[in-house]
Each structure stands twice: as C-alpha cells, then as structure tokens.
Amino acid sequence: MGVSEAPFIRDTSAQDVAIDPTQQMRKRRRLLIGSAAGALTIVVVMVMLVRSWASTSVIVPRERVRIVAVTRGVLVRDIAAQGTVVVANSPTLVASAMGTVTFIAKAGDSVSEGQVLATVDSPSLRSEQGREQATLNGLIVSLDRASIDAKRRMLEGKQAADLAGTQMRATEREFERQQSAWREGVISKRDLDRAQDARDDARLVREHSIESAKLQGESLNFELKTMRVDIDRQKLTVAELARRVDALTVRSPVKGVVGSLAVNQKATVSENVALLTIVDLSALEVEFRVAESYAADIAADMQAEIDYAGRKYPGVITNISPEVQQSEVRGRVRFASNLPPGVRQNQRVNVRLVLDQRENALKVERGAFVDAGSFAYVVAGDMARRRPIQVGVMSMGEVEILSGLNDGETIVVSSVADFAGAPEVRLVD
C-alpha cells in the first residue's frame, strides 16, 4: 500500500507585492501631521470665536435700534403743548336799570360795532331822570336869582361907601372953615374941636363902609360859588342818568357774533343783570397748559408757533398764569398775523413755544436713550459701547450734549432696554 500525497491548497501569494515599510511610515506620518494641523487651526479659530462671543454677552439686531450722528449747529429750545382756541374779547352786556327787555338780535347773528341789539323799557329810570333834570333847572334859576340879588346888595354897599365919602369931604371942608374962623378969633377952641371930631368920625365911617362893602362882595361871591358847585354836581347826576337812559338801548361794542342770550324775550330784569354776550372773532387767542417745571422759563412776548389745519402760524405769548393748577400752568398765545380762515372758538390746536436759541451747540436727535440715564451707546462698526455723557437743554426734537461725545460720532438714540446695561453690545444684521 503506497503512501498517499497531501492535497494542494491555492493562496494569494502570487498576487502579493512586497512594500517598503519605510515609505509607508512616512506617508502615514504626513497624514497624521496634516490632520493635526487642521485640527489645531480649527481649535484656534474656535477659541478666537469663543473669546469674541464671550466678550459680548448681548447681541441685538441692528434693525431694532436707531443710530444717528452727533452734529454741531443751532439748537432751538422749545416745548410742545396742546391748546384751545378761546375768545380774548367777549364782552357781556348788562341792563342799566330795571325794566322789560326786548331783543332785536338773536344768538348766532353777526353784528357790527354800534348795532342795536336790544332795548330795555324802564319807566322808573326815565322818571328819575326827569326829576333830576327839573332839580338842575331849579338850581340854575336860583343861581340867576342869587346873582341878581348879589349885584343889588353889592351896589347898596358901594352906595353906602360913596355916601360916607361925600360926608367925609363935607366934614373936612367944615373943619377948614372952623379952623380959619378960630385963627381970626371968631369962634372958640371948643367949636374948632367939635368940627375936628366930626371930620374924624366921617373918615372912620367911610373906611368902615368900604371894608363892609368889600366883605359883603366876597360873601356874595362865595354864596354864588357854592350854588355853582351844587349845579355842577347836579349836572353830573343828570349826565349819569342820561347815560343810563341811553344805555337802555343796548348796542354792540365790537364787531362779532351774538354768543348767547342770558334771559328770555320780554323778561323783566333788574339793574346790572346780564342780557347777552358778544364774541369778538377778531381777537381769538390760544390757551395752553404746560408742566409747572417750565413755568420759570416762559414769559410774555416770547415767540410761539401755532399748528392749525396742517399749517403753522406765528404767535406771541401774551401772558402766563402765576398760579399752578394740578401741576400745570396756563398761558395764552395770540396770533401774530391775521387769523387762520375758519378758526372757531374751542377748537384744538398744537402750540410750539420757543424758549431760547443756542448757536454752535453739540446736539443729537432726541430719543428714548435720554431716559436711560447719563450714558449713551457709541456705535463703531458692529459694536456699540457704553460711554458716560452729560446732556444739557432739550427741545422737542434735539438734545444738547455737554460732554462725552464728539462731533461726527454715531450713537443709539432709540430705547436701550434690550442692552441690559451691558458695557458692549454686538449689532448684527
């Protein structure tokens, strides 16, 4: 029995190729180095990104903020207020006496100056006027009578003084004759002394008559002057009654519109009772209210601007109330030029009050950032950095910058509530 042979098994030895182990190692090393370098680059980039993102804890879309530039120029300090058109001249006409009123004009009628609007029938006032006029006439007659009597009495006084003068001259002549006779020894010394005494008595009587006539004239003139004063006083009374009687015909003092009737037609009214109101449409003003903090800055004759029906009209502040009501003060503005067409009482308008004007001021648009406090976010590229600032006066549209910003820088003027007070904020598109 012969020995059997082992079976033949095929393999891949014929297909194998011998590889140099040194070359394989170099290739693997290069792959490892390249992979390590790429991973290191990625790590470095990631670290830089992480550091950059870590330094900015808040991210806000740029479209959600408003960014404007800081500029230098004229800053007009002004405030806005709501106003109401009011009538500056609205006289109320009253009855001058008790009587019955008859209206000629109706509420809403256009009237001219001097036009008769109503009449008041007052028999008592007309009767009083007649009595006082009669009293005046009586005083005038009494004055005329007293003047005639005074002339007569002054003439009598002058006559007495003249007679005393004649008597004095007669006694003087008699004294001269007696004196000549005494020198010739015809009469005695006693007769001469008697003639001298008569002459002296006549002189005294004349002097007293002259003084008495003068005093009587002054007394009569004083009495006449007193009567003239009484007449002048009575004339004033009659003139006042005549004015009141004339006022019974009620006339419009201005050109305007009858506002309202205070009493009914043919009603009996008392003295000084309001009858009707006239609205002078040519003297309309705007009454405004502002916060009491602005009261010290507002004064009469300041410039203002009235916005009515989409157009702006110049105005001037006429007065500002000295009292505060509900933390507000009232003021009035008149139209500096002609009134706007169609303006009516009680209409609502907007008023802009110009407080002052500053030249070459550093300013920026007014926004909600002012409410955040004494800082602003300055924008440079895609970063907004917080910076302390100091603001000055504010107008309706602009804010004065005193320090912290420079001309040409840009800041966020919208609300910064989303910034959460972060020192830096990234703005992304």
274-326: per-residue pLDDT in tens?
999 888 877 788 888 888 877 777 888 888 888 888 888 898 888 888 888 88
Mean pLDDT over 405-417 rounds to 88
Residue 234 has pLDDT above 70, yes or no: yes
How far are the Cα atoms of 170, 171, 183, 194, 200 from residue 175, in angstroms, in the given order? 9, 6, 12, 9, 10
pLDDT over 70 percentage in the chain: 86
Residue with the larger pLDDT of the pair 344 and 250: 250
Which pLDDT tens digit goes with each residue over 166-220?
A: 888 888 888 888 888 888 878 888 888 888 888 888 888 888 888 888 888 888 8
Q: Is the pLDDT score of 231 beyond 90?
A: yes
Average pLDDT of the chain is: 83
Question: What count of Cα atoms within 13 Å lies in the side-chain half-sphere of residue 366?
Answer: 14
In angstroms, what CA-CA distances link 398 with 80, 188, 224? Answer: 13, 127, 80
Whole-number pLDDT of residue 20: 52
Q: Please state the domain extents for the chain.
A: 61-86+281-428, 90-122+249-279, 125-245
Instruction: Tell me how long the chain is.
Output: 429
| pLDDT on residue 242 | 92
pLDDT digits (tens, 9 = 90+) for 102-153: 999 888 888 898 999 999 999 998 999 999 999 999 999 998 998 888 888 8
Contact 20, 385 (CB under 8 A): no
Res 233: pLDDT: 94
Q: pLDDT tier at 32 (50, 70, 90 boundaries)? A: low
Comparison of pLDDT for 110 and 35, the residue scoring more: 110
CATH of 90-122+249-279, one of 2.40.50.140, 2.30.30.100, 3.40.50.720, 2.40.50.100: 2.40.50.100
Is the pLDDT higher at 11 or at 119?
119
Q: Is the pLDDT of residue 416 over 90?
A: no
Q: What's the rounded mean pLDDT across residues 232-248?
A: 92
For the chain, percent of residues with pLDDT exceeding 90? 17
Task: Report pLDDT digits (tens) over 386-400.
Answer: 889 888 888 778 888
- Residue 30 reports pLDDT greater than 80: no
43-77 pLDDT tens trace = 555 645 445 444 445 888 888 888 999 999 888 88
pLDDT (average), residues 337-357: 82
Predicted TM-score (pTM) of the model is 0.48
pLDDT given for residue 275 in this prediction: 92
Q: What is the pLDDT of residue 54?
A: 46
For the residues 221-230, what does the mean pLDDT come to?
90
What is the C-alpha separation between 121 and 97, in angstroms, rounded? 9
Highest mean pLDDT among 77-81, 233-237, 276-280: 233-237
Task: Provide the pLDDT confidence category of residue 238 given band limits of 50, 70 and 90.
Answer: very high
61-86+281-428 homologous superfamily: Efflux pump adaptor protein, beta barrel domain (2.40.30.170)
